[in-house]
Structure 1
Amino acid sequence: MYGIKLKVWGDYACFTRPEMKVERVSYDTITPSAARGILEAIHWKPAIRWVIDEIQVTKPIAFSNIRRNEVSSVISKANVNSLIKTVSETGTGVPFYQDPNKVRQQRATLMLKDVEYVISAHFELTKNATPDDTQEKHYNIFLRRARKGQCFHRPYFGCREFPVNFELLEDQTPPPPIKEDRDLGWMLYDIDFSNNMSPRFFRAQMHQGIIKIPPILHQEVNK
């Protein structure tokens, strides 16, 4: 396994709990799926799959409240297909848009502030890997991109308006985790796309600021 350590930090974060239907309420810490998304923003190919091994919380957990303008609905695929069919049958254009003034709603968000984590992870080759897709190759690509601060898109902490700053930890000593134990409850691990996009949860425990991810979770989701 070619492991890496990445320090990530930002001013705000919101890892929304799925059980909250109306208002956004963040988990106490970053989720494994959000951590994986940050690594994929730096380097991802169909030949590799990132696995989160451990998350260290290096700043005290603190929350803040804001109210944001959101929309109550989005343009669906069915509406787009219906429009395409209408245009093809009539040969005339049809106005098609969503008026934000009609669907705008103000919603409260309970988010995290001043966050910082150290993500420990490794990657595995998938069935899509070719003979050219070696572990050394992808490991060195990630190192080169992370050292330069390169990414395919700016990673974010749950919501796109909360961007992530990141730094590859190699020889330098990582910041120490907070000295706190906390039962984080049932946390989203990832989405099982092979099983009708079923969510997978696990009972997250933080011991002295460290959250260890059971390897069995990755085996169950990516079996």
Structure 2
Amino acid sequence: MKNQIDFLLTGRHALFTDPITRIGGEKTSYHLPTYEALKGVCKSIYWKPSIIWYIDRVRVINPIRTQTKGVKPIKFNESGNDLAYYTYLHDVAYQVQAHFEWNMHRPELEADRIDGKHYSIAQRMLDKGGRQDIFLGTRECQGYVEPCEFGSGKGAYDDVDELGYGLMFHSFAYPDETGLDALHSRFWQAVMRFGIIDFPKPTDNLTLDAQNGMPSRFVRNMSAKDFALDNNIQSVSQTEASL
């Protein structure tokens, strides 16, 4: 089935937060976009609970540059604002190649596995810039998407054979994608070769993921949200009447 999309992702700033640098309220971005952040972009373009997006690879187009800004986040323990410094990526551009597969942990949505339907909708939504707002890591970093041919044009790191970035956050293992009533976080050793990062594909088997170089860590207990076909929480007439 047709299930792959290529798109150009751009933005003035990006903040793919490194959890190690968040101690004390400061935030510093990874130099590379995380798998989970790119997956979130795909879900903002188009998503249904019957499909799962997988990021195949990403190509870095613009040079990696950072910019530090003073911000005033809200204090959680008292009223008022605090002062912190966030280090963003500046003027980013990426070519992303991704595909979706059926979510086999959603047997109640089997009737929605229609070949061609979701691909056609995803392509239309990509042409329109996404169904929802696109964010580059955090809400304050607005992103923009448009169709492209992966590998086209000149990239800033096309001639660099290899750059290693050490241990990075990869993605979350959500209950509706693993069948487990728990949330786990995955990590991996990130490497960029000739400007391209090839992401390992996560599975619903965390032990197998660890054997493939993606160790995971338990975060908390969590259960999957229930969905059903042709079952709206509130009808359209009720929604309009409440407006």
Fold agreement, TM-score > 0.5: yes
Equivalent residues of 1:125, 1:135 under 8 A apart:
no
Cα distance in structure 2, aligned partners of 1:183 and 1:4: 27
- Equivalent residue in structure 1 for 2:189, among 192, 196, 203: 203
1:135, distance to aligned residue in structure 2 (A): 3.4
Greater Cα shift, 179-188 or 61-70: 179-188
Paired residue for 1:34? 37
CA–CA distance in structure 2, aligned partners of residues 173 and 53 of structure 1: 13
Judge conservation of contact 2:15–2:89 (CA < 8 Å) in 1: yes
Q: Could you say which residue in structure 1 is the equivalent of 2:173?
A: 192
1:117 Cα offset (Å):
0.4
CA contact (8 A) 2:27 2:86 kept: yes
Q: Is structure 2 residue 92 aligned with structure 1 residue 115?
A: yes
What is the distance in 2 between the residues matched to 1:119 and 1:218? 20
Question: Offset at 1:184?
Answer: 1.5
Letter paired with 1:112: L
TM-score (norm 1): 0.80
Whole-Å Cα distance in 2 between the matches of residues 213 and 162 of structure 1? Answer: 23
Name which of 134, 139, 152 aligns with 2:114. 134
Alpha carbons 1:186, 1:201 under 8 Å: kept: yes
In structure 1, the partner of 2:213 is: none
Partner of 2:82: 105
- Across the aligned residues of Structure 1 and Structure 2, the Cα RMSD in angstroms comes to 2.2
Q: C-alpha distance in 2, partners of 1:213/1:60? A: 20
**Deviation beyond 3 Å, 4+ runs, structure 1:** 218-223
Of stretches 103-112 and 187-196 in structure 1, the one that deviates more from structure 2 is 187-196
- Aligned equivalents of 1:188 and 1:175: distance in 2? 29
RCO comparison, higher one (Cα < 8 Å, 6+): 1
Deviation for aligned residue 1:193: 2.4
Contact preservation (8 Å) 1:51, 1:218: no
Q: Who wins on radius of gyration, i.e. which is larger?
A: 1
Runs of at least 5 residues in structure 2 that lack an aligned partner in the other structure: 210-243
For the structure 1 residues 220 and 183, does the alpha-carbon distance in structure 2 shift closer, same or farther, using more than 3 Å as the test?
farther
The sequence identity of aligned pairs, in percent, is 28
TM-score, with structure 2 as normaliser: 0.74
Q: What is the number of residues matched between the two proteins? A: 194
Cα distance in 2, alignment partners of residues 42 and 146 from structure 1: 6
Shift of 1:35: 0.3
**Pairing 1:127-166 to 2, within 5 Å after superposition:** 127=104, 128=106, 129-151=109-131, 153-166=132-145
Contact 1:52/1:121 (8 A) holds in 2? yes
Q: 1:174 deviation in Å?
A: 2.8
Letter in 2 for 1:136: G
Higher mean C-alpha deviation, range 142-151 or range 58-67:
142-151
Look up the equivalent residue of 2:45 and give its one-letter code: I
SS of corresponding position for 1:105: coil
Whether the 8 Å contact between 1:31 and 1:189 is mirrored in structure 2 is yes
Aligned mates of 2:47, 2:200 — CA distance in 1 = 23
Q: Is the 8 A contact 2:50 2:112 kept in 1?
A: no
